[in-house]
Structures are given as C-alpha cells and as structure tokens.
Structure 1
Amino acid sequence: MKANTRRGNRLVFDAVAGSYDQARPEIPAGLVADIVGFTSLAPGEKVLDIGAGTGQLTLPLGKAGLDVTALEPGEKLRELLEKKTAADDRVHVTGGFFEDYDGAEDGSFAAVFSANAFHWIDPAVSYDKAAGLLRPGGYLVLLWNVPTVEDGALRVALNERAFADHPDFVRDAHPRVEVLAAEGSEEMAASGRYETPRVELCSQPLVFTPDDYVTLLISYANAAVLTSEARRDLEDGVRRVLADHDVESIRVVNSVYAVIGCRAEQ
C-alpha cells in the first residue's frame, strides 16, 4: 500500500469511532501466530502497534503474549481501546502521531506493527523512524485487509448502483491483494532500511447483517469524510440494493496481506 497523500484525513476515523469499533474485523489470530513464529517473537517481548484503532491488531498481539505499546492519535478511538484493555497489563495505550512519538529509546522494540494505518504516516519519516525503534534483528510488520462481498450478483449491483458515485468502494471478484502486497514490499525495500521483505496472505470468511455491513462501510475514511447528507445517501443506496436482493446476511471474504521486513544492519 503506497503512502496516502491525503494525510490531513488521518483523524477522520475518530468521527466514526463507534462504527469502527463495531464493524472492523480483528486481524486473524492464525496470521498473527504465523508472524510471531516467523519473527521468533517470544512472550513478553516489546512491540509497538502504530495506529491501533480500537484494537483490531492490538488485541491479537496481546493474546499472543507480547508486551504491546498501542499508539493511537484519535481520542475517541483511544478511549474505546483503553476500556477494552484496562485489565490487561500486557497492553499500554498512548496517544499522538507516530511522527511525534518519543515514548521509547532507540532500538527498544522487537517488532513494530501497523494494521491499515502505515500509509497515513509521512513517508519521509515512516520507514526510517520505525527502523530506528527496532533492536538489531527486529521486524517491521505492515498489514492491510480488503473485504469483498462474496455473492457476485450482489457485488455487481452494489458496484453499479450504490457505489456509482463512490468508486473507492468498488470491489472486483478478486481484489488486487497480491499487487498491493508487491507494491508494499517494493516500497519497504526501496527505503534501504530492511532486508528483502516477506509477504504473507490469508483470507477470512465474515458474515454481516445488513446493518453491520453498512456500519463497516461507514467506518472507512472515504465514507467518514463525506457530509452527513452524502453519507446518508450512500447508506440509503446500499440498503436499497440489499433490500432488492432480499438479503438477510452478507458473506464477505476478508483478504489480508502482511509485508514483513527485518531491519537491515547499516
């Protein structure tokens, strides 16, 4: 995933924090376990989760036994994450942008993680700063997910009707996760701070009610930035398509990819 040039929108998720918390899926525990195994992370080791949201990656990392510093700049998102992890002494929630983060000494983390957030960081800062926070042999692990409606007729109807004015929501039958992963791998390698990155892919079946599917859409930046009227129009358009197809549940394939790079020794 290339760096996002619209970084002024990086706090927009705070306006839809409830929707974000309700509908965004956790990163699959099996993928997290595979990454922990590949990177040889041991229980209790310190890791950083950048742009933690309401814990979609933070919680699986904590369940894996890691000591997680969860960095989340959005106040409402952070409050929800703090409530979820209040009784978990393995998770430490803090605020602020990664560009300004100074809560750790250089080389203090065994791994730096980020799920669906690293592209919001200034690329002039992102890879270098992450490398500086890693101990020798530490890993940068970047993850993204792409949810796609499984039913072909329903997906086409949503694309052509509900998303006609919202092309960022349009999904093909086979999302471009391999292409996106390759682009992310190339970008990480081009920074010169990491050894040849490894890519991991997985898919996760999800089932949403119509209400929860609409909530999922509203949790994304391209919906959160809309005016209230435009957002209602999007919601209404989606609901009309679902009603026309007599949909009671929506099966979604959540394609997840991870780009994993070991800090290169300079």
Structure 2
Amino acid sequence: MSVEPRVSGLQHPDSRSFEQVADLYERARPGYPEEIVAWLVERLDLRRGRTVLDLGAGTGKLTRALVATGAEVIALEPGDEMRAQLQRAVPEARVLAAGAEAIPLPDDSLDAATAGQSFHWFRLDEAVPEVDRVLRPGAGLGLVWNMRDQDDELQREITELLAPFVPPGREGEGPGVTEFFRREAFAESPLFERFEEREARFAEELDAEMLVGRISSISFVAAAAGEERARLQEALRELAATRGGRVDFRYLTEALVTFSVA
C-alpha cells in the first residue's frame, strides 16, 4: 500500500492542484457507500445534540452525510475554491478555513471527528495530537477512503494508463490503507485506543465524459501538463468506447474508527 506524501493542506504541490479542479471534484467524485456511512454514524454516535468535526472536508462529500444525522457539523477546509464549493453544497455546516494541524476550536469541545479522503494529506505528528486536543475524552475519530478496486479489470487498465503520471510514493493503489495509517499515525501514540475497521465495495455507472472527469480530478493528474493530460483523457474515452460508451467504475472503501483515550 502506498499513499501520498503527508504535507498538509495546500503545502503539497499535488494538493494545490485540487484548487484548479474544485468544480470538477464536486461533479465527478463519488460519495461514500451507505453501509460505511451508517457504520461511522453508529460507531461515532452521531445524532442531534452532538458536535462533529469534518477534517479536510473538500467539497463536502462526507460532510453532507454528517449533516443528515442531525448533529452539529463543523467542516475544516484550507483551500479557498474547495471551501467555496463546500459552502454551496452543504450550507447547514459551519465551515472554517483551517487545516488539521491548527484547529481553531477549544480543547475538549467535540463529540467526534471524521476525515474522508483527506487523512493522508495531514502532517500526522501535528494533526493527531491536535485532533485529540479538541475531542472530548473517549470521543471517536472516523477515517474513510474510496480506492479504485484493483480486483476489477477496468481499474487495472486505468492503473496502466496512469502509471506515467504517478509521483514517487504513489506507485500503487489498493487495500490496506487503514492498516497502514493505524501503524503510521497511532502505533506509537498514547492518545488513541480501540481500533475498528470496516470495508465495502460499490460501483457507479459512468459515461465516457464522467470517466474522464473522475480521473482528471485525481491530484497528480490535475497537476500534469496540459498536453499529457489531454492524451490521457483521449485514452480514457477510447477505453470507454471499447465497453459501449459506459463503464462500471468499481471502488473498495475502507474505514477506520478509533477513540481518544478517556
């Protein structure tokens, strides 16, 4: 399992590319499977009267599911364009311009925290104690990732097309992300305990242009030179054409819940 370098917020050059494609990210990226969302809601005890913080909220793909629980939702997003999309998509959430390493909230003020598709961007040595600071003792932290399902033939073909674009440290995408971060972020940390994991698979049917948009919203593709990106996009259209113009885009979703030491 390999992941993106952990340089927080907009400091990593690939993360800055999200600012260029915030609208595309909102249109083309999926949400999370109902099974995983329901599990997170249950394990974090999200309901009316509770307060949850969504870290690295992006355009609000996870935030809107949190709002649906009736809990008070605070969403952190450092990128201006992503944050603007977030505010439009989820007006019910309180949106703050901040990263996970410097959370502008009081100590012990939150009942839960989440990070959807964002924890790998954080500087973990700073973010983990900062998240613990704002969580009440015993509060839960839920992490979730959608990953392209490498057991699927289409995804293996897409992986081959992406190979020239992949930066060092992202040579592979596959299962094991929760196990990786359990070691990287928490193995030697006295701040969190009790680890629970869940996974699910899901698929979405996409036409050729939505396939192009979805892959173009990947950070290292968005950061690529225009001509290189155009060649990749044409190859994706050809790939869709070999399947009648529509594809089943399959994901493996992994989630991890851990709890602040009481």
**SS of the residue 1:73 aligns to:** coil
From 183, 186, 189, give the equivalent of 1:189.
Answer: 186
Structure 2 gap segments, 5+ residues each: none
Question: Which AA in structure 2 matches 1:230?
Answer: E
**One-letter identity of the residue aligned with 1:214:** V
1:92 aligned residue: 94
In the other structure, the counterpart of 1:226 is 224
Query: CA 1:188–1:198 in structure 2 vs 1: closer, same or farther (change >3 Å)?
Result: farther
CA offsets 1:108-130 (integer angstroms, 9 cap, x no match)? 11111101111111122011111
| Counterpart for residue 199 of structure 2 | 201
Q: Which moved more, 1:76-85 or 1:48-57?
A: 76-85
Contact between 1:163 and 1:170, CA under 8 Å: does it hold in 2?
Answer: no
Structure 1: state its 5+ residue gaps.
Answer: none
How many angstroms does 1:51 deviate by? 1.0
Task: Give the TM-score normalised by the residue count of structure 2.
Answer: 0.88
1:150, distance to aligned residue in structure 2 (A): 7.5
Deviation at 1:23, TM superposition (A): 1.0
Q: Which residue in 2 is equivalent to 1:125?
A: 126
Q: CA deviation digits over 1:222-244, x for unaligned, max 9?
A: 1111122221121122222333x
Sort the Cα spacing of 1:219 and 1:44 in 2 relative to 1 into closer, same or farther, 3 A.
farther
Provide the C-alpha distance between the structure 1 equivalents of 2:51 and 2:40, rounded to a whole number of angstroms: 15
Residues in 2 aligned to 1:5 and 1:39: alpha-carbon distance in whole angstroms: 25
CA RMSD of aligned residues (A): 2.3
Query: Cα offset for 1:151?
Result: 5.7
Identity of aligned residues (%): 26
TM-score (norm 1): 0.86
Q: 1:256: which partner in 2?
A: 253
Q: CA deviation at 1:3?
A: 6.7
Aligned to 1:107: 108
Superposed, 1:1-266 pairs within 5 Å as 4-5=5-6, 7=8, 8-9=12-13, 10-86=15-91, 88=92, 91-102=93-104, 104-148=105-149, 152=153, 154-160=154-160, 162-167=161-166, 176-177=174-175, 179-190=176-187, 191-243=189-241, 245-265=242-262
Number of residue pairs the alignment of both structures matches = 254
What per-residue deviation string (whole Å, max 9, x for no partner) do you get for residues 71-96 of structure 1? 1111111111111223x3xx111212
SS, match of residue 255 in structure 2: strand
